[in-house]
Chain A
Amino acid sequence: MSITLYVPRDSAALAAGADRVARRIAQEASARGLDLQLVRNGSRGMFWLEPLVEVATPAGRVAYGPVTVDDVAGLFDAGFLEGAAHALHLGPTEDIPYLKKQERLTFARMGITDPVSLTDYQAHEGFAGLRRALAMAPADIVQQVLDSGLRGRGGAAFPAGIKWKTVLATPAAQKYIVCNADEGDSGTFSDRMTMEGDPFMLIEGMTIAGIATGATMGYVYVRSEYPHAIAAMNEAIRRAEAAGFLGNDILRSGKRFSLEVRKGAGSYVCGEETALLESLEGKRGIVRAKPPLPAITGLFGQPTLINNVITLASVPLILARGAEFYRDFGVGRSRGTLPMQLAGNIKYGGLVEKAFGVTLRELLYDYGGGSASGRPIKAVQVGGPLGAYLPETQWDLPLDYEAYAAVGGTVGHGGIVVHDDTADLSKLARYAMEFCAIESCGKCTPCRIGSIRGVEVIDKIRANQNRPEQVILLRDLCSTMVNGSLCAMGGMTPFPVLSALDHFPEDFGLVVPDRKAA
C-alpha cells in the first residue's frame, strides 16, 4: 500500500531546505523499496518547524519537524511512516496548539492540500462559492460582500463591497479586476503564502469579482521578488483554464473571465493602487491623483476593481457560507478574520489567522513565545514600514482597525515585526525615512524631498547637533508629510518616525526631563 507524505513547497520551507529533504526522502524510500507518494503541499505557517514533514496515517496526519537532510534516514528507521515516536515527532498536526487555537477561514486549506491540485481544492470546499455566484444576480453577489463587512486587507481597510458596487454601477464595454499582489511590507507574507499555497482560492475570488461587476479580464500584479508565487499562480491559472473554471464559458454558464499574471519590477510604491495601475499600463509606477477613482476610471481608463490578495481570497468562503457566517467573526467595524504574520525577532514566527479583537500581547507571547533572542521585547511595528512602533503599554489594545487608528497606528496588512531591547528606535526611524527616499515615486514634494530632509534631521538628532531644535523641525516636517503627501507612502512614513520619537525618546538622546521637548 502506498503511503502519502507531505513536504511543503512554500518559499519559507524551501529557504529552510525543503527541496533537499524531499529529494532525500525519495532516495531513502526507493533504497528501501517503499512505495511513497510525496505531495508538495503549502506551508501550515509554522516557520520555526520548517521543513515540516507530515505523514498520512489512518489516525490522521502526523507531523515531524524541523527535518534536515541528516534526519531522514533516522526517521525511516524510527518508523515515522507509521507515525512512530522520534525526537522530531510533533504528534497529530491539527493538535499543535499554535494551529489549534487559530480561526482559519481564509487559510483553512493552507498546508493541507496540494496547491495546484483541482481535485484537492474541490474536496475542500473549493469552487463552492463560484458555483453559488453563478446562480446569483450580480447585485446579489455584491450585496453578500457588502453584508459580510469585508474591508480591504491591503492596508487601507476600505469597505470592499462599496468598491464592487461602484464598478458594477459604472457601465463600460470593458471592465477589469486587478489583484494587488505587490506585497512589499516587511513582516508580511500572507499574500505570498496564498499564491504559493492555495492559488485557486485567489482565482476563484477574482472570478466571482468578475461575474459580480461585469469584468471579463483580470490581472494579478505580483512583485518580482516572489518568483515561486508567480510560478504557482501561472500553473494554477493554466489548470483552471483547462478545466473550464476560467475562460469563455465558465462551468458552462456562458460567463467569461480570463486571468493573467503580471510581474512587478521592484518598486514598493507600486503597491499603491493607482501606481500599480500605471505600472500595469507599462509606465513608471507614479501615483495618480484621486479622483477619478479606479472603480470609475482605472486600468486603461476603464472601471477597475482593485483589491488585495487576501480581500479577494476571502470572497469564495463568504459566497459559499453566506455573509452572516463571515460577519459573525470579529469586533466593532472590523468583521471577519485577519491572517496575521508574526515576524522579525520572534521565537515562533508564522501565520496566525484570528478574528479581529485579539491583542498583540496574546500574539507575541501565547503564539509567538516571546523574542527569538530570548531578550525582552522592546517595540513592535504593526502594519508594515508605514506602521507605528508600539511600546508595551499598547500591547493590550484589541487588534481592530479603529482601535489602532485611535493611537496613531495601523493594522495595515497584518504584519507584526518584533524588535528586542537591542533595537535602536532612532535608527529604525531613520530607516523609515531612508526607505521612503529610496521608494518615493517622486510625484509630490512632501514625500520626495521630505524623506531626504527627514534622514538628515534624524542624523543631526542622533549626532546631538542642536538636538531640541531638530526635534521641533522633525515634527514639523512629519506634519507636512502627513498632510501634504499624495498617497500613503509620504503620508504614513511619519507614523513609525513619530511613534519611535514619542515612545522611545531616550533612543534619540532625549533624557527623561526633556520628554516635554520631545
Chain B
Amino acid sequence: MAALAEGSGLDARAAVRAVLEQRAGEPGALLPILHDIQDGLGHIPADLVPEIAEALNLSRAEVHGVVTYYHHFRAEPAARHVIQICRAEACQSMGAEALLAHAQLRLGCGAHGTSKDGTITLEPVYCLGLCASSPAMMLDDEPHARVTPRTFDALVAQARSES
C-alpha cells in the first residue's frame, strides 16, 4: 500500500492515458509514447509502466527494458533545469573535462546528479553537434558554445534567478 500511496497521482495517470489513447495504434509507438510522457511529466513513473505495457500488448519487462536502455529516459524527475555538458572528443580537445569538473564543483553534484539547491540537474552528453564551437553545452533546449567556467557560472546564475 505504501508503494501505491507514494505512486503517481491521478493527474499523471490521466496524462499517460491521454497519450496512450492518442498513440497506441501507431506502428512502433513505444518511443513516441515515452517521449510524450516524459515531456509532459518530466519522467516515466515506474508505477505507470504496467498501464503502458497493457495498452501496447507488451510485457512490463519489455517496457521497463526500453525505459532503462535509453539514456534519455529517466525514472525520476530531473530538476527544473537540465544542463548537458558534452564530453566527446571534439569538446575534450578544447577543455570539456575541466568544464565538467568545474560544473560539478560549482553545482555540488556529480554527473547525473542534481545541484544542492535542487534547481539544476547535470548530465554528461556525447555530442551536441556543435563540435566546431567547443566546448559545448545545452541549458534546457538552448545551445551554448565555447563555454568557459565564467560563462557557465553566468548561465547558472541566470537559470537560478528564473526558477
Q: A residues bordering B, Cβ < 8 Å?
A: 11-12, 14-16, 47-48, 50, 183-189, 191-192, 224-228, 262-268, 279-285, 299-300, 341-346, 349-350, 372, 381, 385, 415, 417-420, 423, 428, 431, 435, 438-439
Q: B residues bordering A, Cβ < 8 Å?
A: 27-32, 34-35, 56, 62, 65-66, 69-73, 84, 86, 88-94, 125-134, 136, 138, 141-146
Contact of B131 with A225 in the complex, beta carbons under 8 Å: no
Q: A15, A225, A279, A299: which contacts B145 (Cβ < 8 A)?
A: A15
Contact of A192 with B141 in the complex, beta carbons under 8 Å: no
Q: B89, B127, B142, B145: which contacts A12 (Cβ < 8 A)?
A: B145
Q: B29, B125, B144: which contacts A282 (Cβ < 8 A)?
A: B29
Contact of A183 with B28 in the complex, beta carbons under 8 Å: no
In the complex, residue of chain A having the shortest beta-carbon distance to the beta carbon of B91: A186
Contact of B93 with A418 in the complex, beta carbons under 8 Å: yes
Contact of B141 with A227 in the complex, beta carbons under 8 Å: yes
Contact of B133 with A344 in the complex, beta carbons under 8 Å: no
Give A68 Cβ to nearest chain B Cβ, in Å. 13
Contact of B70 with A283 in the complex, beta carbons under 8 Å: no
Contacts of B89 in A (CB 8 A): 186-187, 344, 381, 385, 417, 419, 428, 431
- What are 14 of the A-B contact pairs (CB < 8 Å)? A14-B143, A47-B132, A50-B133, A186-B126, A225-B138, A264-B70, A279-B31, A284-B65, A341-B132, A344-B93, A344-B131, A349-B132, A350-B132, A431-B92
User: Which 6 pairs show the lowest CB-CB distances between chains A and B?
Assistant: A349-B132, A282-B30, A186-B88, A343-B131, A265-B70, A266-B72
Contact of B28 with A281 in the complex, beta carbons under 8 Å: yes
Most buried by B among A267, A285, A417: A417
Give B86 Cβ to nearest chain A Cβ, in Å. 8
Most buried by B among A11, A228, A418, A439: A11
Contact of A343 with B90 in the complex, beta carbons under 8 Å: yes
Known contacts A11-B143, A428-B92: A16-B133 contact under CB 8 Å: yes
Give B88 Cβ to nearest chain A Cβ, in Å. 3
Contacts of B127 in A (CB 8 A): 183-186, 188, 225
A188, B127: Cα distance in complex, Å: 9
User: A186-B126, A300-B28, A372-B94 known; 8 other A-B pairs, CB under 8 Å?
Assistant: A15-B145, A16-B146, A183-B129, A266-B70, A267-B71, A282-B28, A284-B66, A415-B131
Contacts of A428 in B (CB 8 A): 89, 92
Contact of A349 with B131 in the complex, beta carbons under 8 Å: yes
Contacts of A188 in B (CB 8 A): 127, 129, 131
Contact of B132 with A262 in the complex, beta carbons under 8 Å: no
Contact of A344 with B134 in the complex, beta carbons under 8 Å: yes
Q: A224, A284, A419: which contacts B69 (Cβ < 8 A)?
A: A284
In the complex, residue of chain A having the shortest beta-carbon distance to the beta carbon of B144: A15
In the complex, residue of chain A having the shortest beta-carbon distance to the beta carbon of B39: A263
Contacts of A280 in B (CB 8 A): 28, 31
In the complex, residue of chain A having the shortest beta-carbon distance to the beta carbon of B84: A225
A349, B129: Cα distance in complex, Å: 12
In the complex, residue of chain B having the shortest beta-carbon distance to the beta carbon of A439: B126
Contact of B70 with A268 in the complex, beta carbons under 8 Å: no
In the complex, residue of chain B having the shortest beta-carbon distance to the beta carbon of A224: B72
Give B94 Cβ to nearest chain A Cβ, in Å. 6
Give A420 Cβ to nearest chain B Cβ, in Å. 7
Known contacts A381-B89, A435-B126: A16-B145 contact under CB 8 Å: yes
A224, B29: Cα distance in complex, Å: 16
Known contacts A16-B133, A188-B131, A225-B129: A265-B93 contact under CB 8 Å: no
Known contacts A284-B69, A344-B134: A225-B27 contact under CB 8 Å: no
Contact of A345 with B93 in the complex, beta carbons under 8 Å: yes
Contact of A346 with B132 in the complex, beta carbons under 8 Å: yes
Contact of A184 with B69 in the complex, beta carbons under 8 Å: no
Give A135 Cβ to nearest chain B Cβ, in Å. 32
A15, B137: Cα distance in complex, Å: 9
In the complex, residue of chain B having the shortest beta-carbon distance to the beta carbon of A384: B89
In the complex, residue of chain A having the shortest beta-carbon distance to the beta carbon of B56: A282
A22, B116: Cα distance in complex, Å: 36
A415, B88: Cα distance in complex, Å: 13
Contacts of A192 in B (CB 8 A): 129
In the complex, residue of chain A having the shortest beta-carbon distance to the beta carbon of B73: A265
A300, B91: Cα distance in complex, Å: 37
Q: A47, A183, A187: which contacts B133 (Cβ < 8 A)?
A: A47
Known contacts A186-B88, A300-B27, A345-B94: A15-B130 contact under CB 8 Å: yes
Q: A189, A265, A300: which contacts B130 (Cβ < 8 A)?
A: A189
Give B150 Cβ to nearest chain A Cβ, in Å. 15
Give A173 Cβ to nearest chain B Cβ, in Å. 14
A183, B144: Cα distance in complex, Å: 19
Contact of B71 with A266 in the complex, beta carbons under 8 Å: yes
Contact of A282 with B134 in the complex, beta carbons under 8 Å: no
Known contacts A184-B127, A224-B72, A282-B30: A417-B133 contact under CB 8 Å: no
A190, B62: Cα distance in complex, Å: 34
In the complex, residue of chain B having the shortest beta-carbon distance to the beta carbon of A189: B129
Contacts of B73 in A (CB 8 A): 265
Known contacts A12-B145, A16-B145, A439-B126: A267-B131 contact under CB 8 Å: no
